[in-house]
Amino acid sequence: MAKIVVGFDGSKGSQEALYFALDEARLREADLLVVMAWCLEAGTYIGVGGYGPHIDPSVLEQSARTELDHTLGALGDRAKGVHVAGALRLGQAAQVLVEEAGDADLLVVGSRGHGGFAGLLLGSVSHQCALHASCPVVVVHTPS
């Protein structure tokens, strides 16, 4: 069975990538894996010596899981005829996506996600995926 992996971070770009991947999965009669990576970014987890804010990593993970579950649940009829699964992974987005797409036929990412510089044509995640994925990569640009 064919497999398509799509990266999702809640941004408009990743939403467009998800819709593209759904349509492509339907055309190819492929399974779709929606992957959301989460990590502790610099400055998020501070608690050395009991000073500074402390954010429990499980709270961040649960927040990401809730967003992914909500997104998959909201697909409704749009996902009709496509086997869709979600995966929440700890790690940097590009690395997680390249690993998850190791046995995939296609990796789909948005051109811009959360963070980064708006003037870049490709985000760092989409750029790294295009360079390192072992399967074809589609970078979906968000309409202006």
- Identify the helix (H) or strand (E) that includes residue 3: strand 3-7
Q: For residues 24-44, give the mean pLDDT.
A: 86
Residue 56 lies in a domain: no
Residue 52 lies in a domain: no
Total-model pTM? 0.85
Tell me what pLDDT residue 123 has: 61
Question: How many domains in the chain?
Answer: 1
The pLDDT mean for the chain works out to 85
Query: What percentage of the chain's residues is helix, strand, coil (to nearest 5)?
Result: 40, 20, 40
Tell me what pLDDT residue 113 has: 56
Tell me what pLDDT residue 60 has: 82
Residue 50 lies in a domain: no
Residue 67 lies in a domain: no
Say if CB 13 and CB 142 are below 8 A apart. yes
Q: Residue 8 belongs to what domain range?
A: 3-41+76-140
pLDDT in tens, 41-82: 644 444 445 555 666 778 888 989 999 999 999 999 999 999
Residue 29 lies in a domain: yes
Question: pLDDT grade, residue 118 (50/70/90)?
Answer: very low
Tell me what pLDDT residue 43 has: 47
Bridging pattern class, strands 106-110 and 137-140 = parallel
Q: What is the CATH number of the domain that holds 96?
A: 3.40.50.620
Extract the tokens encoding 30.
């492929």
Question: pLDDT grade, residue 117 (50/70/90)?
Answer: very low
Tell me what pLDDT residue 5 has: 98
Distances (CA, A) of 112 to 15, 16, 39: 11, 10, 18
Q: What's CA 124's distance to the chain center, in Å?
A: 13
In this predicted structure, the answer to whether residue 130 has a pLDDT above a threshold of 60 is yes
Residue 100 lies in a domain: yes
Residue 97 lies in a domain: yes
In this predicted structure, the answer to whether residue 92 has a pLDDT above a threshold of 70 is yes
Residue 126 lies in a domain: yes
